[in-house]
Each structure stands twice: as structure tokens, then as C-alpha cells.
Amino acid sequence: MTARRIDPPKVLHVVGMLDRWAVENWLLRMLAHAAARQEPVNWTFYCANAVAGSRDEDARALGARVIHAPVPVGRKAAFARALRREVASGGYDVLHSHHDLISGVYLAAVAGVRIGRRIVHAHNADEDVLTPSALKQAIYRPLLRRLCLALGDRFVGNSEHSLRTLVGSNSLDPGRHHVNYYGMDPAPFIAARPDRCAFRRALGLAASTPLLLFAGRMTPEKNPVFAVDVLAALRRRLPEAVGVFAGDGGLEGAVRDRAAELGQTDAIRLLGWRSDVPEVMAACDWFILPHPHEPLEGFGMAVTEAQLAGLRLLLSMGVSDAPILAGASWRRLSLDAGAEAWGAAAMELWREPAPSREGAVAALRRSPMDMDYALDDLLGLYAGAERRA
């Protein structure tokens, strides 16, 4: 009888860079939770962007290795050769790729290399193939999907929608296809005790000012400019309301311009990127995410965070049900309904009692986003993948 192997599978996570991005922060959250539970893991992060990240040392402190690709993924041939060398020499049991369709590049690079399991993980439904050319996108998407499906062993989505987008028209096989919801740590939101009056004073506002919060990247897929339209509509009903934008990105100027066009310059506050998101959220009243309808957002982590902070939710049809907890206070509207309908919905929510932060935490702990459940589920993807005796 072969002795049971007691050391954990050796996993190579291919990521962009260990910075303040959602996927990498989720992985580090899972790594930290494994350490807190004294759950042995053996993880290496292979950073395809070929540059150091602000959280490299956090990963190392938790026992992980961090490798920066010697060349960025844009130099495809050299990148593929370097990744193949690392996988061939590293003795990995699992290659876990977190770049959706781009994972096809990584799988092709290591084709034929002995490894126990090849996992393709879809974290959104954008199907980004890293080119602005519509022609190249039309060529690369089906090609990369075929590579993923032909060379991968397991296919994972952060929601069922993300998973179905990845596998296309293929039916789901429970043995190969899996949804692993992001584990969400409620501790920062439980600990958040913001001084709502002081927060408003710091923004030059009256202590009782109602605040509509947009928190996230200022990019087209988050649609922050529409949030300005909604703010203007809300202020026609509740003139003292103010919009708070926490995040950075290329549309920051467009948000300012739209506010000026609508006469709302004095009614917005742009905070930039914040490290104290739980406190900012808990100091506001509504959370708005007017995500475009297509492609549907795979999993809106900020939506769950907003519920843990006790916020009312204004969501578009482009946000799935996956991150909405039992007991949430929310409205989902079509973008086609227009800003006036969104403003009216905000007022409906305003007249209702504020949602319970404690209730949201309790609902989270009963959901697949519970930290213990999510970690067990993630580690289960690696079970039986050992390639060595």
C-alpha cells in the first residue's frame, strides 16, 4: 500500500501582480485564513506582469513564494518559455490560472509538462483578450476558449454566470466545472465604527447630509458617469444629498465633467483610492453600481461589502444575484429606465429602515461566501491532484 501523502499539493497561481486588485486580494485573504486556521498550504504566485506588487511581502510573510515573470505576458514567446521552465522545474502539482481566456496562453505554454491538475478560473464575464482591436478579439476569443477547454482539467467561476461564460455552450459537468464564491471576511466591517458626523465635516458637509456612494474603479465597466445622473435625479427629490466617489481610474475626469454639465459640481466628492473602505462605506447611506447590462458582472464583491456596511443598494441589471445576501435592502433597475427612475428608487429605499449590519454578517456566515466554507471549497479543488507518489 502506498503511504498517504501528508504534505499539501504544491500550487502555482498565475496572477497579474500582487497589488490591490480584487482577485489577488481574495487569494491573499484565503492564504491568511488558511494560516489562521493552521491549514497547511504550499502556494507560489507567478506574476505575469513581471513587476513587483505592493503586496508581495504580505504573501511572503504568509509563507508563499512570489515569482515575477522575467518578461511581461505581452512578450508572448519569451513569456511562454519562461513559464514552461518554471513549471517543468518547480515540481508543481497544480497550475491554477486566474486570467480567464488568457489562461489558454499559459496552458499552451506548459502543454506536455507533467503536472497533476490544470485549473482555469474565470473571475468575470468580460472575456478580455488584452487587445483593443475588435478584429483580433474576434479571432483570439474562440481560439483561446478552445485552448482552455482542450488543455484544462478543471474550470472554475466566481459565479455560475462567470463559469457558463467561460465554458460557452458546453453543458456543465460537476466533475470538471465548479463555482467557488469569494470568501468574504466580515471582520473589518464588524470593527468599523465610523464617526458619520466627522466624516461629513471632513468633506465640508452638514452632519445630516445623505450620502450616495460609488466605490470601485472609475472605468467604463463600472459606469460611474451614470451615477452622477442618478445623483442629480435624487437631488431633485432630496436636495441635500451628496455623491461620494471612492476609487480611481480613467473616468474620473468624465465624472467631474458630467457633474459640471448637470450643475452638480458642489454635490460630489471624489476621494480617490481609499484603504479604509469599510469605514467609508459605513459612513454613507446608499451604494450604487450601475454596471452595464452586458457583459454581466461575474461577482460584485463591493456589493457584498456594501451590505456588511449596512448600505441600501441601487444595482443595475448587469449585477448578478450572487453577492446579494438574505435581508438586503435593494433595488435592481434597468439602465434604460433612466436616471429619474433610479432617483425614485433611491427615495423608496431612503424611506425604509436602514438595513442591519449584524443581519448581513449573520447572512454571510450562512452563505458560500463564509470564509471557512470558501477556503474548504478552494482547497477541495486541489485534492487528489498530487502528481508525485
Domain annotation for the chain: domains and CATH numbers: 10-183+370-380 (3.40.50.2000), 187-365 (3.40.50.2000)
- Residue 266, number of CB atoms within 10 A of its CB: 9
Q: Which amino acid is at 354?
A: A
| pLDDT tens string 300-350 | 899 999 999 999 999 999 998 878 999 999 999 999 999 999 999 999 999
Burial (CB count within 10 angstroms: exposed 0-12, middle 13-18, buried 19+), residue 272: exposed
Cα 234 to chain centroid distance, Å, stands at: 28
Q: Is 354 a residue whose pLDDT tops 60?
A: yes
Q: Where do we find the cell 513569456?
A: 79
pLDDT tier at 4, thresholds 50, 70, 90: very low
Q: Is 59 a residue whose pLDDT tops 60?
A: yes
Residues with Cβ < 8 Å from 335, sequence gap 6 or more?
223, 226, 290, 292, 293, 316, 317, 318
CB 104 within 8 A of CB 143: yes
Query: What angle separates helix 134-151 from helix 160-167, to the nearest 10 degrees?
Result: 100
pLDDT tier at 90, thresholds 50, 70, 90: very high
**Could you give the strand order of the β-sheet that contains 242-246, starting from the edge strand earlier in sequence?**
268-272, 242-246, 211-215, 286-289, 312-316, 330-333
CB 282 within 8 A of CB 215: no
> Which cell numbers hold the place of 269?
466628492
Rounded to an integer, what distance in angstroms lies between the CA atom of residue 281 and that of residue 362? Answer: 18
pLDDT at 387: 56
| pLDDT tens string 132-163 | 888 888 888 999 999 999 999 999 999 999 99
Residues with Cβ < 8 Å from 231, sequence gap 6 or more?
212, 241, 242, 243, 259, 264, 267, 268
Rounded to an integer, what distance in angstroms lies between the CA atom of residue 31 and that of residue 41? Answer: 8
More confident of the two residues 193 and 58: 58
Rounded to an integer, what distance in angstroms lies between the CA atom of residue 325 and that of residue 363? Answer: 6
